Amino acid sequence: MVVLTLILGVNYISWRWVASLNWDAWWIAIPLVAAETYSLIDVGLFGMTVWRLKKRKAAAAAPSEATVDVFVTTYNEPLDMVMDTALAAQGIRYPHSTWILDDGNRPELRQLAEQHGVGYVTRGRDWENMPRHAKAGNLNNALMQTQGEFLLILDADQVPAPDILEKTLGYFNNRRVALVQTPQYFTNVPADDPLGSQAPLFYGPIQQGKDGWNAAFFCGSNAVLRREALMELGLLGYVKETEKSIRRALAASTKAIKQARKAADAHSPLVGGMLDEVEAAIGHAGRQLEAQESLSQITYEVQLKVQQAVRTLVQADVQALEADLAEIAAMDLAAVGESGVRVITEEAVDRLSGREWSPLGAMESIQAVLDALSVERSGEAQPLMPLATISVTEDMATAMRMHARGWQSVYHHEVLAYGLAPEDIGTMMTQRLRWAQGTMQVLLRENPLTQRGLKWGQRLMYFATMWTYLSGFAAVIYFAAPVVYLLLGILPVASLSADFFIRFIPFMVVNQLLFAVAGRGIPTWRGQQYSLALFPTWIKACTTAARNVWFGRPLGFAVTPKDRQEGGPRWSLIRPQITVAVLLAFAAIAGILRLAAGLAEPVGTLVNVAWVVFDLLVLSVLFKAVRYRGYEPGDK
Amino acid sequence: MELSHKANGSYTEVLASGRLNMVSAPNLRTYVDEVVATGASRIVVNLAQTTFMDSSGLGALIGCLKAARQAGGDLRIAAVQPQVKMVLELTSMDRVLTSYASAQEAFGNE
């Protein structure tokens, strides 16, 4: 089936490239064939995913002695919701400790946790004025305060079943397994799922297929992780970042010292002497780094030498000061004070030489170099950041690093936690935007295709998901092409002859059959609709992520609110889609009028009107979604 | 560090704003020396906008005190900020350089 789809697809697309392009209208012909090629690759990656679909039997019995921490992560969710989840977590049968990870630092929640005997973790003082890294930071903070061998991570709305650990821990009997992901399922979604909250294709054939390639995704919640694997990532990241920071500092040091010499009083031999010593110490550190000496040794020595140089300078300042005082005293003893000249204590000299008050602080360029020549990772709240902080979707980035280190993953296809989906289109769109942005950040920062340690199958499994988020650009073209034909009579294809139909129709039919077969009766239409209908969201995600990664601009990050947003339908959220829909409808009417007036040919008009109808059906999901008023029990 | 001064009748007020550190301390020394050289030996250094002082800055202040005394006058400080106050206390220099609440009060009793 997959092979057949691909053969027909490649046949169609290569014909499109080679023989069918309408070069007179290249400005629409090329984008359209590019969009079609995009879709073919998408289908190809999907085919590859389901090719290795893995249906696992139940895991072996859970080990009897494992220690487990259950984390309930929260930021601003209602306390009732958090406590429902936390109490259900506490009720999990396998022995474990339950913790609420409250990034909102709410005293009421702390009290509730204490009342019910649930652990409560918030960020400590180390995190003040440091990058917080959102949920990844919350989890990394908790990892340092707990000890369990395994971690079950739950979002605040994901109420776990009592047997969730019994059913998943057995997989870890294989010592290379680092992750067991279970589906995310939402209980507050009506049967027709207007917001496309359930992702049955993803938590089904796609995850099972990725599992077949040992690339099951970590989805942030409802997953069990092996602490050892996370800590390994944390340690590797720490060493890598520290060495990088030291190399960068050494590279910048020559310029920094030159600047400092200019800024400092050039005639002061004391300052000049100190800078000589600092320069010598940094130069020595550079040679040690080349000789592969230990980072802690290098940084310790350089800091010690600099510290001594600073102390020498402070002592010289103090001596000069005391000499001045003595002279003043000699001139006019009484005026200095009743107890005469004071001698500044050693303790005071120490404090004046210390990090906080060091005269070296005046030379910011040097201070920056010295701060970076350390192993304390001073720009972060804690040295170890086991969960990746390169993306707002820390889950994907973390799992990819685990896979690159040779760890294995499992997708356990059984709902073991029951969550709450967004109940309004605004929240839903924020959530989708965040996922798409995070995915694009990972693509741009750690492109799976070039990650060492990943197998090619794994690379393509990660790439496949990233590829699907480019659909916004293709959607614009799929909306524009029929409009162009119906309004202007310009066809991107050289001719709509039998050649076209005998290649296109079999491919489309088999393609749809592939989804139907792979999905085995799973409703996939909702997902297809949203992958095109949310095109402004997907495009925005790509552009904001690119600006963020390349130019360091903020993403405009938002935490997904889990409770319902009040107010009437918010049509303004889907203004671009409304515009497109109006344009499509108008083009269809215009096309039919042109046909009636004899300005257009029947086949072209028919095909394009049908295309418009398809586009409008795709977009229709949003009209339903905007009017959706939230879940009422009994909707099922 | 920004330096300026103005004559206020019986004394001259030197306003030093910014960080009084290894880099800027020599400037303060030179600046006060020049003011003293014009004949103004009763100096108040207004530290209301001095946010930080290190050992070099402290040395410069004492150096300025010496210059003012040698010229037959005095140097006083006013309106010190918390970090500067801590440095003065730590080194007992608060016993040598008393801080007045404002520049007017520094020579107010004379």
HSE of A440, CA atoms in CB hemisphere, 13 A: 26
User: What is chain B written as a DSSP string?
Assistant: -EEEEEEETTEEEEEEEEEESTTTHHHHHHHHHHHHHTT--EEEEE-TTEEEE-HHHHHHHHHHHHHHHHTT-EEEEES--HHHHHHHHHTTGGGTSPEESSHHHHTTT-
Separation in Å, CA A290 to CA A197, A248, A293, A553:
53, 14, 8, 35
CB A224 within 8 A of CB A178: no
Are residues A209 and A285 both part of a single domain? no
Are residues A38 and A98 both part of a single domain? no
Q: Dmax over Cα atoms in chain B, in whole Å?
A: 35
Question: In this predicted complex, what is the ipTM?
Answer: 0.90
Bridge-based pairing of strands B42-46 and A417-419 is unpaired
Q: Does residue B82 lie within any of the structural domains?
A: yes
Interface test with A, best of B20, B27, B50, B56 (most A CBs within 10 A): B56
Q: What is the residue type of B60? A: A
Are residues A341 and A409 both part of a single domain? no
How close A447 comes to chain B (CA, Å)?
Answer: 46
Q: Does residue B22 lie within any of the structural domains?
A: yes
How many domains are there within chain A? 3
| pLDDT number for residue A135 | 94
- Which residues 316-335 on chain A approach chain B with CB closer than 8 angstroms? 317-318, 320-321, 324-325, 327-328, 331-332, 335
Are residues A482 and A335 both part of a single domain? no
Kindly state whether A362 is in contact with chain B, defined as any CB-CB distance less than 8 angstroms.
yes
Strand runs (DSSP E) across A8-164, as ranges? 68-74, 97-102, 119-121, 150-155, 159-160
Kindly state whether A368 is in contact with chain B, defined as any CB-CB distance less than 8 angstroms.
no
Identify the three-state secondary structure at position A591. Answer: helix
Q: Does residue A190 lie within any of the structural domains?
A: yes
Q: Do A317 and B91 touch (CB under 8 A)?
A: no
Cα–Cα distance measured from residue A317 to residue A175, given in angstroms and rounded to the nearest whole number: 61
Q: Does residue A592 lie within any of the structural domains?
A: yes
pLDDT, block means (10 residues), chain B with 110 residues: 90 94 90 93 94 92 92 93 93 88 84
CB A116 within 8 A of CB A360: no
The whole-model pTM stands at: 0.80
How close A338 comes to chain B (CA, Å)?
Answer: 9
Are residues A340 and A396 both part of a single domain? no
Interface test with A, best of B55, B65, B81 (most A CBs within 10 A): B55
- Domain interval for residue A323: 265-362
How many domains are there within chain B? 1
- Domain interval for residue B12: 2-101
Strand runs (DSSP E) across A206-262, as ranges? 223-226
Are residues A39 and A72 both part of a single domain? no
A314 contacts in chain B (CB < 8 Å): 55
Q: Does residue A337 lie within any of the structural domains?
A: yes
Are residues A90 and A186 both part of a single domain? yes
Cα–Cα distance measured from residue A329 to residue A370, given in angstroms and rounded to the nearest whole number: 40
Element (H, E) at A292: none
Are residues A72 and A193 both part of a single domain? yes
Kindly state whether A357 is in contact with chain B, defined as any CB-CB distance less than 8 angstroms.
yes
Cα–Cα distance measured from residue A20 to residue A493, given in angstroms and rounded to the nearest whole number: 6
Cα–Cα distance measured from residue A409 to residue A213, given in angstroms and rounded to the nearest whole number: 10
Of all residues in chain B, the one with the smallest CA distance to A311 is B55
Q: Does residue A552 lie within any of the structural domains?
A: no
Q: Does residue B29 lie within any of the structural domains?
A: yes
Are residues A25 and A76 both part of a single domain? no
Q: Do B22 and A335 touch (CB under 8 A)?
A: no
Q: Does residue B109 lie within any of the structural domains?
A: no
> At a CB cut-off of 8 Å and minimum separation 6, what does B39 contact?
none
Six token digits for residue A545: 């992520």
Q: Does residue B106 lie within any of the structural domains?
A: no
Are residues A281 and A319 both part of a single domain? yes
Kindly state whether B87 is in contact with chain A, defined as any CB-CB distance less than 8 angstroms.
yes
Six token digits for residue A152: 């079950």
CB A153 within 8 A of CB A181: no
A360 contacts in chain B (CB < 8 Å): 22
B58 contacts in chain A (CB < 8 Å): 317, 321, 352
- Which residues 270-289 on chain A approach chain B with CB closer than 8 angstroms? 271
pLDDT, block means (10 residues), chain A with 636 residues: 88 88 88 93 93 92 94 96 97 97 96 97 93 94 95 97 97 96 95 90 94 96 97 93 88 84 70 87 90 89 89 90 86 54 78 85 81 82 91 93 97 96 92 94 95 96 96 94 90 81 86 83 85 94 94 71 63 90 94 89 89 94 89 66
Size of interface A-B (CB pairs under 8 A): 88
Q: Does residue B95 lie within any of the structural domains?
A: yes
Are residues A220 and A154 both part of a single domain? yes
CB A387 within 8 A of CB A230: yes
The pair phi, psi for residue A380, each rounded to 5°, is: -125, 155
Q: Does residue A454 lie within any of the structural domains?
A: no
HSE of A24, CA atoms in CB hemisphere, 13 A: 6
Are residues A104 and A213 both part of a single domain? yes
| pLDDT number for residue A338 | 46
Cα–Cα distance measured from residue A119 to residue A476, given in angstroms and rounded to the nearest whole number: 49
The pair phi, psi for residue A99, each rounded to 5°, is: -135, 135
Six token digits for residue A339: 């107890």
**For the domain that residue B21 is a member of, what is the CATH number?**
3.30.750.24
Q: Does residue B37 lie within any of the structural domains?
A: yes
